[in-house]
Copies of this chain bind each other. A is one copy, B any other.
């Protein structure tokens, strides 16, 4: 039979990325396409010990229903770290535990955007967030992203010219996919522009702990005196993604609405792992663990940059952190077609156009992930990438 789906979900089309990602099911394929952290970084031994202890001493509360705001001790330990490390979250803010930053973004879209409202975002930007926003019928308007992240003049022009802007969605630190970081002065200007135009800022910050070079840049949330910033953080990249835990720090009035959305969405996030993560971050050496993750990823990033430097036709910036390297191909080479050719050589990458507000445009760029593949796979994958490029240019 024919199904009559809602307009909002009918507007969401399967992405071209799925076709590319399918090849990664073949274990012989080298995937530079994922957004996964490396399993070497999962603190599985500590987690196993804590899990055994929870089962032994607190099984009943860990397996029972919890409250939608999340496990109170984890809310407190998360808020404390955010405040002490990043200066983010003030007395008027509150925090809710969600099932990954993805859920924070989806719920913020649900709570703020009516169909037809506009959301400004970096272009390129994270597909998962763009699709969450699209799933509420919003109009996405991309703001070009340069070496300093979102272009502030272009943002100002977009705010002036776009009706019904409700949110500015930004990944200011080690942006996905471009890898760039917005400097502190641009963050202040973004916030001032948001205030002037009375729009909310949705700050997506899953990679902030994964800095390999340079001094930290404070989150936009740390500059938020008015209560205009909704900050989404994640335990996926510093602990493990499969447990699906993240958090949102925002003004209490906003958290109150997000809690209503959370209650109808799934009641609460997995309580057992909320307890486990709280135990881990308060009794184990999270900072030492993150330092080890940084060392591992720094080496992988350097390996990838070294391998790509061998080819003069490729343009890229070495990111200061995060999981991704954005690679520009020679002009005229379509990223999607290039990824298809790479896939035939057993290497997967994501075409740059997948990250556009308008996915149908052509873009001579691809996104490469360096966190999941081994050093050897990075070397071999980049060699095949360059091989594909040589063949594409001579063809």
Give me the interface of A with B, judged by CB distance under 8 Å.
1, 3-9, 12, 14, 34-37, 39, 42, 44-45, 47-48, 51-52, 55-56, 59-66, 98-100, 102-103, 106, 110-115, 128, 131-132, 135-136, 166, 200, 226-228, 236, 240-244, 251, 253-254, 257, 260-261, 263-273
Indicate how many identical chains form the complex.
2
Q: Which residues of B contact A37 (CB under 8 A)?
A: 64
Residues of B close to A242: CB separation below 8 A: 61-66, 270-272
Given contacts A110-B8, A267-B128, A272-B242, A55 and B51 within 8 Å (CB-CB): yes
CB pair A103 B266 closer than 8 Å: yes
- Residues on B with beta carbons closer than 8 Å to the beta carbon of A56: 48
Measured between beta carbons, the chain B residues less than 8 angstroms from A64 are 36-37, 39, 42, 240-242
Q: Which residue of B lies closest to A199 (CB)?
A: B4
Given A39-B59, A106-B264, list of 14 further CB < 8 A pairs? Answer: A1-B227, A5-B111, A35-B65, A36-B64, A42-B63, A47-B59, A47-B63, A48-B55, A62-B242, A63-B240, A64-B242, A131-B263, A265-B265, A266-B266
With A63-B243, A64-B36, A267-B244 as known contacts, state yes or no: A261 contacts B100, CB within 8 Å. no
Q: Which residues of B lie under 8 Å from residue A113 when comparing CB positions? A: 6
Cβ 8 A contact of A106, one of B5, B42, B265, B269:
B265
B-chain residues with CB within 8 Å of residue A111 when the two chains form the complex: 5-6, 9
25 A-B contacts (beta carbon < 8 Å): A4-B166, A8-B110, A8-B114, A9-B260, A12-B260, A12-B264, A34-B65, A35-B65, A44-B60, A48-B51, A48-B59, A51-B51, A51-B52, A98-B266, A99-B270, A102-B264, A102-B266, A106-B265, A106-B266, A128-B263, A135-B260, A242-B272, A244-B267, A244-B268, A270-B273
